[in-house]
Amino acid sequence: MSVSPVKRQKMESALDQLKHHTTVVADTGDFNAIDEYKPLDATTNPSLILAAAQMPAYQELVDDAVAYGKKLGGSEEEQIKNASDKLFVLFGAEILKRIPGRVSTEVDARLSFDKEGMIQRARRLIDLYKEAGIGKDRILIKLSSTWEGIQAGKVLEAEYGIHCNMTLLFSFAQAVACAEAGVTLISPFVGRILDWYIANGDKKTYEPSEDPGVKSVTKIYNYYKKFGYKTIVMGASFRNTGEIKALTGCDYLTISPKLLAELSKEYVKLTPTLSVKEAQACNLEKIHLDEKAFRWLHNEDQMAVEKLSDGIRKFAADAVKLERMLKERMFSAENGK
- Between CA 308 and CA 125 the distance in angstroms is 23
3-state secondary structure of 87: helix
Host H or E run for residue 253: strand 252-255
| Triad 258, 263, 266: Cα angle to 5° | 130
Looking at the predicted structure, is the pLDDT value of residue 337 above 50?
no
pLDDT at 5: 58
Could you give all domains of the chain from N- to C-terminal order, each with its CATH number?
Answer: 9-331 (3.20.20.70)
Residues 139-147 have a mean pLDDT of: 98
Looking at the predicted structure, is the pLDDT value of residue 149 above 90?
yes
Residues 116-145 have a mean pLDDT of: 98
Ranges assigned E (strand) in 4-106: 23-27, 41-43, 103-106
Separation in Å, CA 33 to CA 9, 45, 93, 248, 280: 24, 16, 16, 22, 37
- 3-state SS track over 56-67: HHHHHHHHHHHH
pLDDT at 10: 78
3-state secondary structure of 52: helix
Q: What's the one-letter identity of residue 229? A: Y
- Between CA 230 and CA 19 the distance in angstroms is 20
Taking the alpha carbons at both ends of the chain, their separation in whole angstroms is: 59
pLDDT tens digits, residue range 51-109? 999 999 999 999 999 999 999 999 999 999 999 999 999 999 999 999 999 999 999 99
What is the phi/psi pair of residue 231, to 5°?
Answer: -55, 130
Ranges assigned E (strand) in 96-238: 103-106, 139-144, 164-169, 185-188, 232-235
Please report, rounded to a whole number, the percentage of residues in the chain having pLDDT higher than 70: 96
- Between CA 251 and CA 240 the distance in angstroms is 19
More confident residue, 5 or 176: 176
Sign of CA dihedral 14, 17, 22, 25: positive
Q: Which residues are catalytic?
A: 142
- Between CA 105 and CA 34 the distance in angstroms is 16
Residues 289-305 have a mean pLDDT of: 98
pLDDT bracket for residue 314 (50, 70, 90): very high
pLDDT bracket for residue 332 (50, 70, 90): confident
Host H or E run for residue 325: helix 302-331
> DSSP string of 102-127?
-EEEEPPGGGTT-HHHHHHHHHHHHH
Sign of CA dihedral 212, 147, 28, 254: positive
Sign of CA dihedral 27, 242, 231, 295: negative
pLDDT at 320: 97
Q: Decide: 113 and 144 in contact? Cβ < 8 Å.
A: no
Task: Residue 193: name the closest of 247, 152, 271 by CA.
Answer: 247
Ranges assigned E (strand) in 229-284: 232-235, 252-255
Separation in Å, CA 240 to CA 33, 165, 174, 312: 18, 23, 24, 23
**222: β partners:** none
Please report, rounded to a whole number, the percentage of residues in the chain having pLDDT higher than 90: 95
